[in-house]
Chains A and B, each alone.
Chain A
Amino acid sequence: MRALLNAVKTGFAEIWAHKMRSVLSFLAIAAGSVVFIDAFSAIFATYDRLEKQKEVSGMARLKITQNYSQTYASPDDYVAPPAFTYDDVVSFREKMPEFYMVSPEVKDWHDVVEYDGRRMVTNLMGVTPEWIKRDFVYKLRGRFIDWHDIENKLRVCVLMRKSAPPPTNGFFKSMMKKWNFTQGFDTLVAHNDLLGKTLKIEGFTFTVVGILEELPYSKRPNIILGSSGDYKVLAPLTTLSHFNFISPGQSLDVSIDTGDEKTFDESLRRIKNFLKIRYGDDEFFIIENQLELIRERIGDSIKASLVTISLGMLAFIAGGIGIMNVTLATVFARTKEIGIRRAIGASRGDIMLQFIVEAVMLGLIGGVLGSAIGWLWGGPVKIMVGMDPSDIKAWMPLVSVFIAVLTAFVFAIYPAWVAAGLKPADALRAE
């Protein structure tokens, strides 16, 4: 233990005596730490998003949409795809009662809302109470649309309150301003408590029964699949149909959560069967498997992160070679000292320990430096340059320092072995 302490003391003296050489060694190792932390935070952020995404989309989420891309030999052969109507949804639900969620939805774009003498544009979305089963990422005030609203086609609505946009750069800000037609509506909802109030949508009076508050961007899981729909005003699907917001021939998109991943394939088969029996051909519809999509995205993301990790490892190896080079140079520069130490009684082990401890100290300081830079880069710097900050866990810098130390240790073994192998008499003769 005492020998180790003395080796540490001598190591500090050596590092201090050769500042430039030491700083370059630190930087070589630090580069590895920075890349490592960045790559690991990217991988873990992806895993986190997968978990959250699974929670939100359910373990077995599907979406049935109309297939607009059928090909025909001649325009005369074209048959308009049949619509998936609300009656179809009701029938589907009756046949699949064990599914966790069967949520039909339909969008109506660019509706004019009037409130307190102001007019603005918004999007309307017709849904049923099942909609709430998936997007619990929203915080609800008031109540959601219920079956009573659906059956009686009541003019009630739930408004979406947008959260503050994520930090972004000037270009995206200006693009948002240009293309976001519903900004006026967003501002209205953000700055007025509309719960219980009435507003006019395309001339029809609707009562606001609930406000869904969007979670902040940092806590939102749907980034991985892009926008899951820019919801503004949710209203009973039957009401929108009754008041002609949507035409009778318009097909509904149906989001389905079969509730059980194990029976997913069987459920899929039953859904296809239903479509085939009801419409004669299941090609009229596309069944999107969202879980598959999530997995693909995650896979891509992990592949990209693995490339970054390999780069981090290469950076560590380069740093290790740097340390090996520095340690070898130190051995040759201090050959006489090695001879002196051997002459006064130092064993081979003492000499090896000396050089390994010095290299490990270079690795340790470099690793700590790299972790600090990695943390700064992952957080404050990324935010400053308009990138998404990395989610750096507390253990990542620790592991990174450990790898830096381990790299330095491994790469110091050879030079230390060379130093310990010098014959005392030969070493003493060195100039």
Chain B
Amino acid sequence: MSIRCVDLIKTYEGGKAGWPALRGVSFEIKAGEFVAVTGHSGCGKSTLLNIIGLLDEPTAGQYEFNGRNVLSMSDQERSGARLGEIGFVFQAFHLLNRLSALGNVCLPLMYAGADSAEMKERAAALLHKVGLKGKERKTPLELSGGERQRVAIARALANSPKLLLADEPTGNLDSVSSREIVDMLFGLNAEGITVVMVTHDKEISARARRNIRLRDGRLEE
């Protein structure tokens, strides 16, 4: 797993010249790293994470994901990479409230084409791993914030990704839950998964092996 970005520029439409979110960001992330992306609100952290996670495209610049030039990848290839190689954990959890915890974890497995029994077995095992044994049938609305984020982590791990992208995963949680979630992410990193995490929390960024600090869309050395 490797990420290489050179002069990434992202400009959102609006106004005459558009609104620049990233203004030439270059960095590399190697397999197994735990990278904290920090910076003030609106500095472009989430935009960078969306680009790294193939949810968005840069306006200009180069981005190589696992040695492949992302700009030349088709939508099918990007979807395939998101499905099999990348896991997402969002601040707002982004779970489907209509589905149970198990159903939410099953979703990526379903898109990967797993059969029903295999899917349920794997999803249940992941929920056990994140400490939600016995809560498989609960819907997100019946779970606490910390538990929802655990479901989201289980879902992100469904197809054994090499890269986990977390966008302020503790932003909506109390301190106890935050610590548990962060510990869990560090634990996953220790298992060999590369973690890129957007955070405001200085304590977390201090624990991270590496920091990428953004300021007004640029890297701050």
Interface residues on B, range: 20 to 34
Q: Which residue of A lies closest to B167 (CB)?
A: A428
Distance of B14 from chain A, by nearest CB (Å): 13
**Given A2-B115, A343-B94, A425 and B82 touching (CB < 8 A)?**
no
Measured between beta carbons, the chain B residues less than 8 angstroms from A345 are 79-80, 82-84, 108, 111-112, 159
Q: B114-156: which have CB < 8 Å to A?
A: 115-116, 155-156
Contact B88 A344 (CB under 8 A): yes
Is B44 part of the binding interface, using a Cβ–Cβ cutoff of 8 Å? no
Give the chain B neighbours of A242 by CB distance below 8 A: none
Contacting residues, chain A, for B94 (C-beta < 8 A):
336, 339-340, 343, 428
With most chain A CB atoms within 10 A of its CB, the pick from B80, B82, B84, B158 is B82
- Cross-chain contact B108 with A347 (CB below 8 angstroms): no
Q: Which residues of B contact A339 (CB under 8 A)?
A: 94
The answer to whether A340 touches B112 (Cβ under 8 A) is no
State which residues 328-349 of A face B: CB under 8 Å.
Answer: 336-337, 339-349
B56 interface residue per 8 A CB criterion? yes
- Is there an interface contact between B55 and A343, defined as CB atoms closer than 8 Å? yes
- The answer, yes or no, to whether A6 is at the interface (CB within 8 Å) is yes
Known: A344-B83, A344-B108, A348-B79. A425 touches B50 (CB 8 A): yes
Partner of A343, one of B76, B84, B88: B88
Instruction: Determine chain A's interface SS by DSSP, over half rule.
Output: helix
How far is A3 from B110 in the complex, measured between Cα atoms in Å?
7
Type the 1/0 row for A400-422, where 1 means its CB is closer than 8 Å to any CB of B: 00000000000000000000000
Specify which chain A residues have a CB less than 8 angstroms from the CB of B76 in the assembled complex. Answer: 347-349
In the complex, the answer to whether B96 meets A337 with C-beta atoms within 8 Å is yes
**Chain B residue at minimal CB-CB distance from A427:** B55
**Chain B 47-88 interface mask (CB, 8 Å, partner A; 1/0):** 000100101100000000000000000011001101110001
Closest to B77 in A: A347
Cβ 8 A contact of B55, one of A2, A346, A348, A425: A425
Q: Say if the beta carbon of A223 comes within 8 Å of chain B.
A: no
Chain B positions 84 through 108: 1 when the CB is less than 8 Å from some CB of chain A, otherwise 0: 1000101000111010000000011
Partner of A344, one of B98, B116, B155: B155
Q: How far is the CA of A345 from the CA of B113 in the complex (A)?
A: 11
Taking the nearest CB of chain B, how far is it from the CB of A295, in angstroms? 59
Chain B residues positioned under 8 Å from A347 (CB to CB):
75-76, 79-80, 111
Residues of A within 8 A of B90 (CB): 428
Task: Report the separation of the CA atoms of residues A349 and B156 in the bound assembly, to the nearest whole angstrom.
Answer: 21
Known: A13-B98, A425-B50, A428-B94. A344 touches B56 (CB 8 A): no
In the complex, residue of chain A having the shortest beta-carbon distance to the beta carbon of B49 = A425
Is B88 in contact with A342, judged by CB distance below 8 angstroms?
no
Residues of B within 8 A of A3 (CB): 110-111, 113
Q: Which residues of A contact B82 (CB under 8 A)?
A: 342-345
Interface membership of A276, Cβ < 8 A:
no
Would you list 9 pairs from A and B whose C-beta atoms are within 8 A, ordered by A residue? A2-B116, A3-B111, A13-B98, A339-B94, A342-B55, A343-B94, A344-B107, A344-B158, A428-B94
Binding site for A on B (CB under 8 A): 50, 53, 55-56, 75-76, 79-80, 82-84, 88, 90, 94-96, 98, 107-108, 110-113, 115-116, 155-156, 158-159
